[in-house]
Structure 1
């Protein structure tokens, strides 16, 4: 079964310096029909103006993943971490018992475009943690590259949840597939371009929840970059 979430139906927050599109309920946007999928709680597509950003704020009991699409995302946190993330970088921050962080556009001239993803951990508490890794475009082109997993396998960042996130870049005749065993579901988010998922045509910003299917197939893409979430039901 496919449950499509079109880009134009997402919640929108616009503050001049920030334009954010919310796949699921977040902040002032609330829709009881879109509260997340399994432990996947947030996918925000954020565009931040040069030199602006999110002042220090706190989180608890959440796995927070940043996936940079364009520009420079500057991060600082109460654990002492500080870095500037660029395209291909994936950051995971485990909020655990509590962490404070800030996120700013690291450029004074160019906007930054990124996806912020929240996954509910399997257990509350624990010490906060931080990790970041770089995934070259070549590693994602024409294949599903694991970028986050419970055990950090295959060079992915680790998550405190039985979930996996894959990234892929597809174009033309490229096609990839991912099996869905019983008890699992998938959520496919199109970051850019267009792609067909199990026969359903999607554009940039669109997403689809896939349940009761043995396989998730991605094909007929045009300049597409896609995230695939493998999640418990």
Structure 2
């Protein structure tokens, strides 16, 4: 019995010792919980699961850390929001493509205090209407870029919340939904539809940038 207690205590000690060195890993990890009503997409969440997903022409586009981490960059009045993941397109069988969605929003961001990632609380309940000419979207499939001509769509940053660790703000979690329809490369016969989009992403020092 005493031996068991000693082993348990030693294990607990080293577990606690290792927590500080692994805390970034746990905050940055991607948690995928499938949505039973939207197969192959993650559930909508506001927990900082570092996941996103949408259907591109009915096939799933989802987060994948090996493809890169999400990024937000604010430069003067322009916000760049980048989602990198994999597109699981299927004809007779699945094959994967690396896909990046780059959103560019123009607003009076320079008049807001957005110097650091903790200022992202500004985006709580923030709506972007894609019909506005101040929004541009680029779709990158593998190494091929496509400029999209937006027909309709919205992105709603529904929730912004601070993620604490030992009373210190480590991340700001942005959660929301999006959808849009657009022409590929200004070709009115080539339409792309993205629907059921959702994201639950943490932003910190490593993936938030601000430039004057």
TM (norm. structure 1) is 0.27
Q: Which structure would you say has the larger Rg?
A: 2
TM (norm. structure 2) is 0.29
Greater fraction of residues in helix: 2
